[in-house]
Structure 1
Amino acid sequence: MGLWNWAVDTYGRSGVAEAALALQDDHGQNVPLLLWAAFARTTDPEALAAAAALARTWETSAILPLRGVRRALKAPLPPTPDAAREALRAQVKAAELAAERRLLEALETIDPGRAPLASLSDALAAAGRAWDPTLDPDQLASLARALA
Structure 2
Amino acid sequence: MDQEEVWAFTVAMYGRDGVAKLCLDLQERCDLDVNMLLFMFFLGQKGLAPLSISALEASVRDWRENVIKPLRQTRRHLRDDPRASAQELRQKVKSDELQAERIEQHILCEAVETVPSDDPMAAAHAYLSPNRFALDQQACDKALGDLTRMMGIA
RMSD after superposition: 2.2
> Over residues 66-113 of structure 1, what are the superposed CA-to-partner deviations in whole Å (9 max), with x where a residue is unaligned?
000000001226xxxx21010000011111111100001111223442
User: Where in structure 1 are there 5+ consecutive unaligned residues?
Assistant: none
CA distance, structure 1, for counterparts of residue 131 and residue 105 of structure 2: 15
How many residues are treated as equivalent by the alignment? 142
Residue 127 of structure 1 corresponds to: 127
Shift of 1:131: 8.2
AA matched with 1:36: F
- TM-score, normalised on structure 1? 0.83
Does residue 145 of structure 2 align to residue 141 of structure 1? yes
Shift of 1:146: 1.9
Which residue of 41, 55, 76 maps to 2:60? Answer: 55
CA distance, structure 2, for counterparts of residue 105 and residue 146 of structure 1: 25
In the alignment, is the contact (CA less than 8 A) between 1:124 and 1:144 conserved in 2?
no
In the alignment, is the contact (CA less than 8 A) between 2:56 and 2:112 conserved in 1?
no
Residue 106 of structure 1 corresponds to: 107
In the alignment, is the contact (CA less than 8 A) between 2:60 and 2:104 conserved in 1?
yes
Residue 96 of structure 2 corresponds to: 95
Residue 4 of structure 1 corresponds to: 7
**Tell me, what secondary structure is at the counterpart of 2:25?**
helix
Aligned residues with identical type, % of pairs? 32
CA distance, structure 1, for counterparts of residue 27 and residue 134 of structure 2: 15
Shift of 1:144: 2.8
